[in-house]
Structure 1
Amino acid sequence: MAQEYGFDYELITYKWPTWLQKQTEKQRIIWAYKILFLDVIFPISLEKVIFVDADQVVRADIGELYDMDIKGKPFAYTPFCDNNKDMDGYRFWRQGFWKEHLRGRPYHISALYVVDLVKFRETSAGDNLRDLPNYAQHTVPIFSLPQEWLWCESWCGNATKSKAKTIDLCNNPMTKEPKLQGARRIVSEWTGLDFEARKFTAKILGDEMENSEPPSSTSSETSSNVRSSEDRESKAEL
């Protein structure tokens, strides 16, 4: 894939420190590695990192984030959207403990963020951060990225979708719609991206694809493809 699309990659490992309580749930382990150990898992020569969730579609030049001035903060996150009023009852950070703790600060989403590793290390942010970034932002301040850098249907609604630079397939606590089903419906280019990924995988594995052309993007055919896929999934479950 690196050769096909022209990028470099490296794999890194980091042994969980003995002084920190070991996590057993896979999701919490993933969370810890993507947030808690930023000051130690990367080589000292690396000055900046951009994290993007795997279920996110990027529609803009990510280099804009790399060059953005985050005002001396160790990292930058996008605040949760608040213009989808149907979800107001699910915004837990606007009430109780979180409202009291944040004291007017925004609650941020971690699906995309920028880390200034130089500042992160200088301020010993890692030592203070062994907790949720939103909780620790009194001591480790967060630069709030422009809202357009992370659009999510659950929290943002459709009014600002046209300006979105990335689309995150975040969970919807109201509908609990499966992510792949949501991707087909929400992201217009998803069908083409998914086909390209499947085609490349088949090429690497030496398999043949049933269809050599991507499905049509017309609404009627897209709906048909979604229904066919859902039928197959239902039959598989049976």
Structure 2
Amino acid sequence: SPGVWRLRVPPNRHGAIYRVEGARSEDLGSFQLTPIYKFRSKPQMLKVRRRESMENADLLEDTGDAAGDAGEEGLLGSISSSLWGDKKKGAAAGDEETVHVFSLASGQLYERFLKIMMQSVVSNTKSKVKFWFLSNFLSPQFKAFVPKMAERMGFEVELVTYQWPKWLHQQTVRQRVIWGYKILFLDVLFPLNLKRIIYIDADQVVRGDVKELWDMDLQGAPYGYTPFCNTNTATNGFRFWDSGYWKNHLRGKPYHISALYVVDLGRFRRMRAGDTLRSVYDNLSADPNSLANLDQDLPNYTQHTVPIFSLPQEWLWCETWCSMETLKDAKTIDLCNNPLTKKPKLDVARELLPEWTVYDERQRNITLGLLEEDEQA
């Protein structure tokens, strides 16, 4: 809005480190007068410089979990308040008992899978569950339906949206765009008072209580992924990470599957993992031969600098890589593509998982019931 604005550094950790350049006073309240003459003005820059003795101070210093969390009341906390409002009270009351699950879907088939994944999570989790979905790729019908489904089944849901930054290398293939959203913006997609998120692919069926993942100690890593199974010897020839470039790059570390992961968002932000992932992505994505499986290759490639905690194997079972003998112990089943059989995922779901048909029929009945209610309203 037109007028004369006072721009200043917020009076917290970043105010203690930086001061407005040219300000007469060293006081934390020093400011820069900036006149705005019209509604569409050119961007104005607030120039700052470090205070004496603060030349080497780290703005997002990681001083341990407790101190790091308190530090988010500074820079990250101020951003959170401006974007989502002050949600501290709500977070304190709800986050300790609510498990937050994030997922993506595009197209009718995957929206159908997503409904079943949601139902399987809610059916097997004793705690409250809140789902977060990226609305960019969901159909208008699904976005209108899912709040009603949430009310019917007793969970919470929230849609988020994010515009791909212009300065970050753009993807043009829709699937690769979705993969990018899955890994590149974890630090900015969610309110900063949310401390942890569990990502689950839409085409999964969950048999375990995901509160176990929510409570799992990641041993200082910002996120945890499940390593690929190696018990199905029939697909040994497709394990590209066991030889050549990937074997040399991993240096003994496992190659992890990206269909399910847990993110300690506080730790992730404090160590600037999002910036690291975006920087590496920007460098590698210029080569069309790099990051063939973007959402999976990127975290595995960067795990020497952004460490991955390896989740227990039972937290992701996939027919392609895991033996049938281990299916009985699986806590999540991923309907991944099998290069040997090339069966459609719907066929695999019906053959492998007795509960899938039950879930699917229930979702069909819920959908029909909600449509009838809308017609009668």
Q: TM-score, normalised by structure 2?
A: 0.54
Q: 1:8: how far off?
A: 1.1
Q: Distance in 1 between matches of 2:193 and 2:182?
A: 19
Q: 2:313 aligns with which of 147, 157, 163?
A: 147
Q: 2:222 aligns with which of 65, 71, 74?
A: 74
Q: 1:206: how far off?
A: 2.3
Asked if 1:206 corresponds to 2:372, the answer is yes
1:174-212 Cα deviation digits (max 9, x unpaired): 1111000100011121111111111111112229xxxxx
Determine what percentage of the aligned residue pairs are the same residue: 62
Mean Cα deviation higher: 135-144 or 23-32: 23-32
Q: Distance in 2 between matches of 1:113 and 1:5?
A: 24
**Which residue of 2 is the match for residue 232 of structure 1?**
none
Gaps of 5+ in 2: 1-148, 282-297
Q: Distance in 2 between matches of 1:206 and 1:154?
A: 40
Aligned length: 207
Gaps of 5+ in 1: 208-238
Q: 1:65 aligns with which of 213, 235, 239?
A: 213
| Off by >6 Å, runs of 4+ in structure 1 | none
Q: Distance in 1 between matches of 2:348 and 2:272?
A: 39
Larger RCO (CA within 8 A; separation ≥ 6): 1
**Which residue of 2 is the match for residue 226 of structure 1?**
none
Q: 1:164 aligns with which of 297, 314, 330?
A: 330
Asked if 1:190 corresponds to 2:338, the answer is no
Superposed, 1:1-238 pairs within 5 Å as: 1-130=149-278, 131=281, 132-206=298-372
Q: Distance in 2 between matches of 1:172 and 1:63?
A: 29
When Rg is computed on C-alpha atoms for both structures, the one with the higher figure is 2
Q: TM-score, normalised by structure 1?
A: 0.85
1:51-107 Cα deviation digits (max 9, x unpaired): 111110000110000000010100000000000000100001111111111111100
Q: Which has the higher strand share?
A: 2
1:97-121 Cα deviation digits (max 9, x unpaired): 1111111110000111000000000
Equivalent position SS for 1:18: coil
Provide the alpha-carbon RMSD of the alignment: 1.1
